[in-house]
A and B are shown apart, each in its own frame.
Chain A
């Protein structure tokens, strides 16, 4: 743990209500990078943090549409173009019979894209940033004001340079977090998992 790889300053809070209020203050204080670490999704935290709604539904929808079209095309190409074969006296392009497979392909593509999309947006699997504190997946709620963009940061949202942000000064941030009601404040460092 050298001082060079300072990740930020972490405040640990008694309960999620104080955390949400603290988050609101941190956002208003105009810090550049900050995030909360909680054992379960806390309601109201997204709004306090000023997070936009996840773009994931667009990924899901496009993948679903792709799956539907590919599902139809697979059946059309094999039954009409590659090897036309009359089955049960039906037309070559007997599309109503293709609907179940199209539907299943839609769900398959959309579902897998949702998971892959979520992993990409969250930078998972994450090898390089170890969890700050083991209590944060148990029963403690933390807020971290980060010195640099976190691993979970989506690059596009970090590109906005128009605003001027409050600079990160370790001691000042520590004092600030104490004032927001943190019961414990400490500096955290970037570590690898292995």
Chain B
């Protein structure tokens, strides 16, 4: 908080600025849902559809011609698709961290961002799930191979394989994130329903809100349910990226076979996810006029988390090198020297620069609170984290134990096009979300406003007291 004149003074954090009343919260947050989309929105939406169409067309071509159109070769059996899978699952983790872990730690500032971050989680996991499925080459067989169900072949899936653990982990993660998100939405959908004038909208939101009336007996069960879901999601989110890291760590390949992977992946996931949240919210607060709800104060808090988790992944990078040397295994040492100074040196240093060095500017409050700087840095972190997964997947695979087996991996136009298409897919959903559902948890924001001292009761008096950021 900005220090008042005349020395240090503790000022309680204010999470809604501009002297808003409870009714203003409904008006402001429901506004984007109740008006026609703006031109800016249509430009974004049509761009997203075009980008997705490119990916869809390339994927269709890939299904008909085979996986040979990709850059995959021997020994690089995993490429950009697996990179994308890990990247997108990781993006989702920030949403659960904000909605569940920050809830358990009573971090009130989460109320402004949890709804959109959870939406991001769901769309990111949906995007992630595309990749292992299309990576099979024949996605219509994926259900055969992935799910344990009684079948005429009398075969079961292999429960000792981390790839199968992944099916359960990501599947559970998606399901629980979805219901958690929906439970959070119910009271807000009821708010939208009660202010709806158009009968069709009223009907739709009546059904979606399940007839919620906000009775205190309901709230009493609701709050316990919310807390339980937060308590369940917390170990779940930690398990998901741990299990994703098992895909690598359980194998015997140098560069993958390390015990640091689960915590390292989880920290990296939160890191990349927060960067994505900052990217999206900087745009959304501008587009939908939510600056009094998603304040600089919120963004600064997120930037602090970006810096902290960035240093955690930096620690993991150096720890890996130390253990490679300390292990005394020549293969292990080679894998890491090759990672930083081998043919893929450029990928390694893009990763190290974007993830470890660039976020260090957040030590300065000026940078933490500057919208253009944080936006650029969040993009760098997104790029850096994509390259982190590229480094993990490709540099470990391309030079394995036998030098005669070594080969360089170059992604083709298909790899890049489908990757780009996944961003289109993600943004299609996110843009629709911003249009049809309240992007901020209205009921929760009102609860936080009440704790601040009843903004609702004396709006005129509060208007002068509440500092307006931005």
Task: Tell me if B211 and A193 are in contact (CB < 8 A).
Answer: yes
Question: In the complex, A79 Cα to B155 Cα: how many Å?
Answer: 10
- Asked if A5 is at the interface of the complex by the 8 Å CB criterion, the answer is no
- A168 — which chain B residues lie within 8 A by C-beta? none
- B429 — which chain A residues lie within 8 A by C-beta? none
- A135 — which chain B residues lie within 8 A by C-beta? 194
- B229: min CB distance to chain A, Å: 6
Task: Tell me if B217 and A51 are in contact (CB < 8 A).
Answer: yes
Task: Tell me if B246 and A97 are in contact (CB < 8 A).
Answer: no
- Asked if B447 is at the interface of the complex by the 8 Å CB criterion, the answer is yes
Task: Tell me if A54 and B224 are in contact (CB < 8 A).
Answer: yes
Question: In the complex, A152 Cα to B212 Cα: how many Å?
Answer: 10
- B220 — which chain A residues lie within 8 A by C-beta? 41, 46, 51, 54
Q: Which residue of A lies closest to B443 (CB)?
A: A40
- B162: min CB distance to chain A, Å: 8
Task: Tell me if A87 and B158 are in contact (CB < 8 A).
Answer: yes
- Asked if B195 is at the interface of the complex by the 8 Å CB criterion, the answer is yes
> CB-CB contacts of A1-32 with B at 8 A, as 1s and 0s?
00000000000001111000000000000000
Q: Which residue of B lies closest to A143 (CB)?
A: B216
- A45 — which chain B residues lie within 8 A by C-beta? 216, 219
Q: Which of B273-297 contact A (CB under 8 A)?
A: none
Number of interface residues of A (CB under 8 A): 72
Question: In the complex, A117 Cα to B232 Cα: how many Å?
Answer: 15
Which stretch in A107-115, A159-167, A170-178 binds the other chain? A107-115
- B169 — which chain A residues lie within 8 A by C-beta? 100, 104
- A141: min CB distance to chain B, Å: 10
Known contacts A35-B216, A111-B176, A112-B175; A56 and B221 CB within 8 A of each other = yes
Known contacts A94-B160, A105-B168; A41 and B447 CB within 8 A of each other = yes
Task: Tell me if B22 and A139 are in contact (CB < 8 A).
Answer: yes
Task: Name the interface size band of chain B.
Answer: 35 or more
- A40 — which chain B residues lie within 8 A by C-beta? 187, 219, 443-444, 446-447, 450
Question: In the complex, A154 Cα to B236 Cα: how many Å?
Answer: 31
- B194 — which chain A residues lie within 8 A by C-beta? 131, 134-138
- Asked if B85 is at the interface of the complex by the 8 Å CB criterion, the answer is no
Question: In the complex, A16 Cα to B23 Cα: how many Å?
Answer: 14
Known contacts A37-B215, A56-B225; A110 and B160 CB within 8 A of each other = no
- Asked if B206 is at the interface of the complex by the 8 Å CB criterion, the answer is yes
Task: Tell me if B210 and A137 are in contact (CB < 8 A).
Answer: no
- B203 — which chain A residues lie within 8 A by C-beta? 194
Known contacts A39-B214, A137-B187; A57 and B239 CB within 8 A of each other = no
- B319 — which chain A residues lie within 8 A by C-beta? none
- B154 — which chain A residues lie within 8 A by C-beta? 82-83
- A118 — which chain B residues lie within 8 A by C-beta? 183, 221-222, 224-225
Q: Which of B177-214 contact A (CB under 8 A)?
A: 179-180, 182-183, 186-187, 190-191, 193-195, 203, 206, 210-214
- Asked if B235 is at the interface of the complex by the 8 Å CB criterion, the answer is yes
Q: Which of B251-279 contact A (CB under 8 A)?
A: none
Question: In the complex, A55 Cα to B216 Cα: how many Å?
Answer: 15
- Asked if A150 is at the interface of the complex by the 8 Å CB criterion, the answer is yes
- Asked if B172 is at the interface of the complex by the 8 Å CB criterion, the answer is yes
- A57 — which chain B residues lie within 8 A by C-beta? 224, 228
Q: Which residue of A lies closest to B26 (CB)?
A: A138
Instruction: Give the interface centre of B195, B211, B446, B447 by most chain A CB atoms within 10 Å.
Output: B211
Question: In the complex, A114 Cα to B227 Cα: how many Å?
Answer: 10
Question: In the complex, A194 Cα to B202 Cα: how many Å?
Answer: 10
Question: In the complex, A124 Cα to B213 Cα: how many Å?
Answer: 10
Task: Tell me if A122 and B179 are in contact (CB < 8 A).
Answer: no
Q: Please tell me which one of the listed residues B168, B214, B217, B450 contacts residue A153 in the complex, with CB atoms under 8 A apart.
A: B217
- A186: min CB distance to chain B, Å: 16
Q: Which of B121-176 contact A (CB under 8 A)?
A: 148, 154-160, 162, 164-165, 168-169, 171-172, 175-176
> CB-CB contacts of B438-450 with A at 8 A, as 1s and 0s?
0000011011001
Task: Tell me if A152 and B218 are in contact (CB < 8 A).
Answer: yes
Q: Please tell me which one of the listed residues B191, B229, B235, B456 contacts residue A115 in the complex, with CB atoms under 8 A apart.
A: B229
> CB-CB contacts of B37-50 with A at 8 A, as 1s and 0s?
00000000000000
- Asked if B21 is at the interface of the complex by the 8 Å CB criterion, the answer is yes
Known contacts A74-B148, A79-B159; A114 and B446 CB within 8 A of each other = no
Q: Which of A93-149 contact B (CB under 8 A)?
A: 94, 97-98, 100-101, 103-105, 107-108, 110-112, 114-115, 117-119, 121-122, 124-127, 129-132, 134-139
Known contacts A118-B221, A153-B217; A139 and B456 CB within 8 A of each other = yes
Task: Tell me if B211 and A124 are in contact (CB < 8 A).
Answer: yes
Question: In the complex, A101 Cα to B443 Cα: how many Å?
Answer: 35
Q: Which of B423-470 contact A (CB under 8 A)?
A: 443-444, 446-447, 450, 454, 456-457
The 8 closest A-B pairs by CB, nearest first: A126-B211, A139-B22, A134-B194, A118-B225, A125-B210, A78-B156, A36-B216, A100-B165
Residues of B participating in the A interface, judged by any CB pair closer than 8 Å:
21-23, 26, 148, 154-160, 162, 164-165, 168-169, 171-172, 175-176, 179-180, 182-183, 186-187, 190-191, 193-195, 203, 206, 210-225, 228-229, 232-233, 235-236, 239, 243, 246, 443-444, 446-447, 450, 454, 456-457
Give 18 A-B contacts (CB < 8 Å), ordered by A residue: A14-B457, A39-B187, A39-B446, A42-B450, A49-B217, A53-B224, A56-B228, A100-B169, A100-B239, A108-B176, A111-B176, A111-B179, A112-B176, A114-B225, A118-B183, A122-B221, A124-B211, A139-B456
Residues of A participating in the B interface, judged by any CB pair closer than 8 Å:
14-17, 35-42, 45-46, 49, 51, 53-54, 56-57, 60, 64, 74-75, 78-79, 82-83, 87-88, 90, 94, 97-98, 100-101, 103-105, 107-108, 110-112, 114-115, 117-119, 121-122, 124-127, 129-132, 134-139, 150-154, 193-194
Known: A51-B217, A104-B172. 18 other contacts (CB 8 A): A40-B446, A54-B225, A78-B157, A79-B159, A87-B158, A100-B239, A103-B239, A104-B165, A105-B168, A108-B172, A112-B179, A124-B186, A126-B211, A126-B212, A135-B194, A138-B191, A138-B195, A139-B22
